[in-house]
Amino acid sequence: MILDFVIPQRGTSLLEAYDRWRVTADAKVCCDYSLHVAVTWWSDKVKKEMETLAKEKGVNSFKMFMAYKDVFMLQDHELYAAFSQCKEIGAIAQVHAENGDLIAEVFQNISDHNTVNMAQTRGLFSLLQLLRRCVTVCIEPHIASKWYTPFINSI
């Protein structure tokens, strides 16, 4: 079984991105596969499309990003809304747990951007702060019934 991600560009339809990925994959696959769908922005349209994906397309997990500022990163209120929707539709909420704001700031302060590696822009304090924020936004108020953190950077 292969499990891959559909990651739509910010502001684009989750359903259209899912359908495009399926068209590409279905012509090539020779085994069972399933798709997660990333939530890269938030609106009522995204909320409705998540429900459609879960109920009609069989998508049972969605990934949100706390990293990649201005590209995929959701703000805390958007994470809360997305996690709430996952709970409502019975889907697993995944989070790419990094501090996008802090990483962007540290990156700006590094003089030679061509030699930057992940360890230089992601520290242990950032990780601990981020996990606390994730728990505060989504777990503590009992929003996420199922929660998974597939990606945590550490040094």
Tens digit of pLDDT for each residue in 104-119? 666 666 655 555 555 5
Whether residue 66 contacts residue 86, with contact meaning beta carbons closer than 8 Å, is answered with: no
Could you state, in order of their start, the residue ranges of all structural domains in the chain? 2-148
Whether residue 149 contacts residue 95, with contact meaning beta carbons closer than 8 Å, is answered with: yes
Which two three-digit tokens encode residue 129? 């702060």
Bigger pLDDT: 103 or 47? 47
Which two three-digit tokens encode residue 70? 């201005």
Judged by DSSP in three states, 126 sits in helix
Q: How far apart are CA 46 and CA 116, in angstroms?
A: 34
List pLDDT tens digits, range 41-53: 999 999 999 999 9
List pLDDT tens digits, range 48-82: 999 999 999 999 999 998 877 888 989 989 988 99
- CATH homologous superfamily for the domain 2-148: Metal-dependent hydrolases (3.20.20.140)
Whether residue 64 contacts residue 48, with contact meaning beta carbons closer than 8 Å, is answered with: no
